[in-house]
Amino acid sequence: MGRGILVFVGSAGELSLFGLRAIRDAFKPPFEPGEILRQLHELGLRSAPLIGVSGLAVGVVLSMHTRASLERFGAESMIPAGLAMALVRETGPLTAALLLSGRIGAGIGAELGAMRVTEQIDALEASAVDAFKYLVVTRALACVIALPILTTLMNFSGMLGGFLAENAVSGMSLRLYFDRSFSLIDVIDYVPATLKTMVFGFIIAITSSYLGFTTSSGTEGVGRASTRAVVFSSILIIVANVILVRLIFFIFPGLQR
Amino acid sequence: MTVTTASSRVSTGPSVASAPEIALQLDRVTKSFGRKRVLDGVSFSVAKGTALVVLGRSGTGKSVTLRTIIGLVRPESGRVLVEGEDVVGMSRPRLNEVRKRIGFLFQNAALFDSISVGENVAFPMRRHTKLSESEIRARAQEKLEQVGLAAEYNRMPAALSGGMRKRAGLARAMALDPSLLLVDEPSAGLDPITSDEIDHLLLSQKESGTTLVVVTHNMASARRLGDRLLMLHEGRVTAEGTLDEFERSEDPMVRAFISSENAG
């Protein structure tokens, strides 16, 4: 038990140092633009179908629930605005981040873990390349850039899903639906909630890279790194979300109304 | 036959660094992992343009020795002089400059599996030279031709056999025309014919002036490649000398290696 706590604290400390090193190295040349673009394609663009389809489904389900609640008060006309507000402020960012912690976290954990056990990370170092910068910093930057964009995609596909559900029930037009969706949303609803996903992206990249980088025990270790990357990223995102929401309310008190 | 402790053979101080004919020198290098001491005062030197073959049973510190030379493992004490520069404790930018002069062939080749074989060979050139794209491609193709893989430029590493992967790894290790080539178990997992091919490639590198340090279990390989042989046992250098000296040696570990080949 005592040893377990020590290992946990030790790993948490190492993970923190890993993240701080990534932030420091991100501002030091070489900046590896080619590798960042490649990671943006792999981690960002290739995640778009997952986010688009999931957003659509979330929008349909949210719409059905919102209708069931608002119908009782005769407030069906508020469905688009209520759904959009829920998506933009919280459901979109958190759902996108959790979905991406599965896809990206597992991918990075497994890829770097496999590179570690097959000595490819050592081969990078032996080729006079800073493996940390080349593998970790580039992935962290790609995730930090990609998450807000994918979250925006999630929000829009969610609203589209909401429209499809609403159109099937009430025959509401696309134009009227989106007019009503944006009737209550302000920039201040969108910007802080979406930008906080940059932190989620950093958490996913750093946690999974750390677990991949420190993989041992061959193939079994790679599987373990991949699983842990998803589990720890998800937990850290949920915990960070609580702190970030509190922080956003503190900075923008108007959002609590 | 030299069967002495490492520290008694290797001179220390400034004269070591200034000796022009020495490509590599390890001076009382010590490394432990946890409680296990893997290198225990290892000392040896390699003259420029010659090949040193490091023999020893599994787990005696042979691969750690190679990793120490290229700075992947940092020893607790001792010096590792590559062409006179001590890589121990060296800053990363300076270490990277030294690494550009060293080629490393990993035991399992360690090819980057997300890029093609040709791009693996081109990788060091893209990173460290100002050659044009067409020049890089041409030179990578030339390196692949040297190892008999001219037609494999666009294939992915996963599609290659073990021997082909090793040859591709050698092509990548030679990409920047290193002055020192470190080779970890060139014959491991290969059939005798492929193993001979790899040895001949390494010999041609030596003939072109490259210094070789080759870790192997394979005495046939050691005979072909080694100007000098070195036996590591439990992290210590227990024997060092020429092939003739090894064959006349009374050292039990050396005798075991020589007789294992004769038995085979």
What are the structural domains, with CATH classification, of chain B? 22-101+179-264 (3.40.50.300), 112-177 (no CATH)
Number of domains in chain A: 1
How many CB atoms neighbour CB A248 within 10 A?
19
Lowest-confidence pick of A18-27, A71-80, A242-251 = A71-80
The three-state DSSP-derived secondary structure of chain A is CHHHHHHHHHHHHHHHHHHHHHHHHHCCCCCCHHHHHHHHHHHHHHHHHHHHHHHHHHHHHHHHHHHHHHHCCCCHHHHHHHHHHHHHHHHHHHHHHHHHHHHHHHHHHHHHHHHHHCCHHHHHHHCCCCHHHHHHHHHHHHHHHHHHHHHHHHHHHHHHHHHHHHHHHHCCCHHHHHHHHCCCCCHHHHHHHHHHHHHHHHHHHHHHHHHHHCCCCHHHHHHHHHHHHHHHHHHHHHHHHHHHHHHHHHHCHHHHC
Contact check, Cβ <8 Å, A128/B104: no
How many CB atoms neighbour CB B20 within 10 A?
8
Which residue in the set B108, B124, B128 is minimally distant from A119, CB to CB?
Answer: B108
Residue A3 counted as domain residue:
no
- Token readout for A60 is 């349909």
Lowest-confidence pick of A73-77, A202-206, B86-90, B183-187 = A73-77
Which residue in the set A114, A119, A129 is minimally distant from B127, CB to CB?
Answer: A129
pLDDT digits (tens, 9 = 90+) for B215-248: 998 888 999 999 999 999 999 999 999 999 999 9
Which residue in the set A114, A118, A128 is minimally distant from B99, CB to CB?
Answer: A128
pLDDT digits (tens, 9 = 90+) for B26-36: 999 999 999 99
- Token readout for B96 is 């990277």
Confidence band (pLDDT; 50, 70, 90) for A254? confident
Chain A residue closest in CA terms to B124 = A127
The partner residues of B2 in beta bridges, in order of sequence, read: B240
Q: Which domain holds residue A162?
A: 32-256
> pLDDT value at position B263?
46
Q: By the CB < 8 Å criterion, does A25 face chain B?
A: no
> pLDDT value at position B5?
39
Q: Are strands B36-47 and B22-33 parallel, antiparallel or unpaired?
A: antiparallel
Mean pLDDT of chain B: 89
Return the number of CB contacts < 8 Å for A and B.
47
Residue A87 counted as domain residue:
yes
Contact check, Cβ <8 Å, A123/B67: no
Is the predicted pLDDT of residue B3 greater than 50, yes or no? Answer: no
pLDDT digits (tens, 9 = 90+) for A148-163: 999 999 999 999 999 9
B92 neighbourhood in chain A, CB within 8 Å: 130
Q: By the CB < 8 Å criterion, does A186 face chain B?
A: no
> Best of A127, A135, A222 to disrupt the B interface by mutation (most B CBs within 10 Å)?
A127
Residue A13 counted as domain residue:
no
Q: Tell whether ipTM is more than 0.95.
A: no
B112 neighbourhood in chain A, CB within 8 Å: 120, 123-124
Confidence band (pLDDT; 50, 70, 90) for A200? very high
Question: What is this structure's pTM?
Answer: 0.89
pLDDT digits (tens, 9 = 90+) for B23-70: 999 999 999 999 999 999 999 999 999 999 999 998 899 999 999 999
Residue A109 counted as domain residue:
yes
pLDDT digits (tens, 9 = 90+) for A169-198: 999 999 999 999 999 999 999 999 999 999
CB B28 within 8 A of CB B43: yes
Which residue in the set B71, B110, B124 is minimally distant from A118, CB to CB?
Answer: B110
Residue A10 counted as domain residue:
no
A128 neighbourhood in chain B, CB within 8 Å: 96-97, 99-100, 124, 127-128
Contact check, Cβ <8 Å, A123/B128: no
Half-sphere exposure of B103 (CA within 13 A, CB side): 28
Contact check, Cβ <8 Å, B106/A129: no
Contact check, Cβ <8 Å, A127/B72: no
Chain A closest CA to B82's CA: distance in Å?
A: 14
Residue A11 counted as domain residue:
no
Residue A22 counted as domain residue:
no
Cα–Cα nearest to A149, from A235, A54, A47, A57: A47
Q: By the CB < 8 Å criterion, does A130 face chain B?
A: yes
On the 0-12 / 13-18 / 19+ scale of CB atoms within 10 A, B154 is exposed
For residue B61, the SS3 value is coil
Which residue in the set A120, A128, A130 is minimally distant from B112, CB to CB?
Answer: A120
CA angle in degrees (0–180, nearest 5) for A153-A25-B131: 95
> pLDDT value at position A7?
86
Lowest-confidence pick of A6-15, A32-41, B134-143, B224-233 = A6-15
Contact check, Cβ <8 Å, A123/B112: yes
Report whether the peptide linkage leading into residue A30 is cis, meaning its omega lies within 30 degrees of zero: yes
Q: By the CB < 8 Å criterion, does A29 face chain B?
A: no
Averaged pLDDT for residues A17-23: 97
Q: By the CB < 8 Å criterion, does A174 face chain B?
A: no
Helix (H) or strand (E) holding B230, with range, is strand B228-233
Q: Are strands B85-86 and B77-82 parallel, antiparallel or unpaired?
A: antiparallel
Residue A191 counted as domain residue:
yes
Averaged pLDDT for residues A69-73: 85
